[in-house]
Amino acid sequence: MTAPAVPAVPSGPLGRLGWAWLDGWTVARRELIHWVRNPGVIAYQLLWPIMLVLMFGFVFGSAMLVEGGGDYREFLLPGLFGQTMMFGIATTITMVSTDAARGITDRFRSMPMSPSAVVLGRSLSDMVTSVLELAILITCGLAVGWGFHQGPVRALAAVGLLLLLRFALVWAGIMVGLMVGPEAAAVAWAPLFPLTMVANTFVSPDQMPGWLGAIAAWNPLSATVAACRELFGNPGVGGESWAAQHPILLAVVWPVAIVAVFLPLSVRRYRRLSN
């Protein structure tokens, strides 16, 4: 009885790229099927954004003032959009670490598939769920009175910047997930709270103490949130710092820089797991 033939590795850059995308999509489908079959995870991921809107928009929102005037919910929602994208890194870290600890990652590495397919598949599946989370959050925002006032094209550009930030953070999450065990990954969300608070998510950096405001102004999350406020036409745009005056530029530069650092590091770490 003859053994099944091992698929030949495609030759040429385009052949290898297509091979990586096909194998990556296969891994992504596996991740999405697992996600759909875990209703508890779905409920948590989809209800969390709704809870944030209700808690901050109605419980705390009535006591908050926007620098320069304007409705606080209009100011708040872009911050919550950005915070939700950043919190997604905890899910990435947890899933990558769990697969590595259970030997699933090693099993993938032993198969005749593209060396980058596992990390690529993880990034694709996380982006699909992130689009769904963001769609639910935007719908909730519209229901509580938030709106975009610069037209659909600029609104779509803002959504694109939010997803660009999430895509960049996926690669940072993959890298960390390949480095830590499930126990450490379970508390990955803890440092995200100060990172999202020391930003323009809930208040303007100009209202913070000088040193803290300077850190918040240059937070990558602040760049994306400020750019979204400008593109959506929401209050809270502007500030004294160079970062506050060029948010759209930084909202592109920061994610591109993060991807440039963590994507190759993630692929390299994955290839060397058992070395």
Residue 92 lies in a domain: yes
Which residue segment(s) compose the domain that 52 sits in? 36-271
pLDDT digits (tens, 9 = 90+) for 222-258: 999 999 999 999 988 877 789 989 999 999 999 999 9
Within-domain flag for 109: yes
Which residue is associated with the tokens 């913070």? 208
Is residue 265 one of the residues assigned to a domain? Answer: yes
pLDDT tens per residue, range 4-34? 444 545 555 545 566 667 777 778 888 788 7
H/E stretch holding 25:
helix 13-36
Flag whether 46 is in a domain.
yes
How far is 243 from 220, CA to CA, in rounded Å? 10
Q: Is residue 45 part of a domain?
A: yes
Contact between 129 and 43 under an 8 Å Cβ cutoff? The reply is no
Between 274 and 256, whose confidence is greater?
256
User: H or E stretch including 105?
Assistant: helix 104-109
Q: What is the pLDDT of residues 164-198, one digit of tens each?
A: 999 999 999 999 998 988 888 878 778 888 888 89
pTM attached to this predicted model: 0.86
More confident residue, 93 or 54: 93
Q: Does residue 229 lie within any of the structural domains?
A: yes
Q: Give the count of domains, the chain.
A: 1
Q: Would you say residue 180 lies in a domain?
A: yes
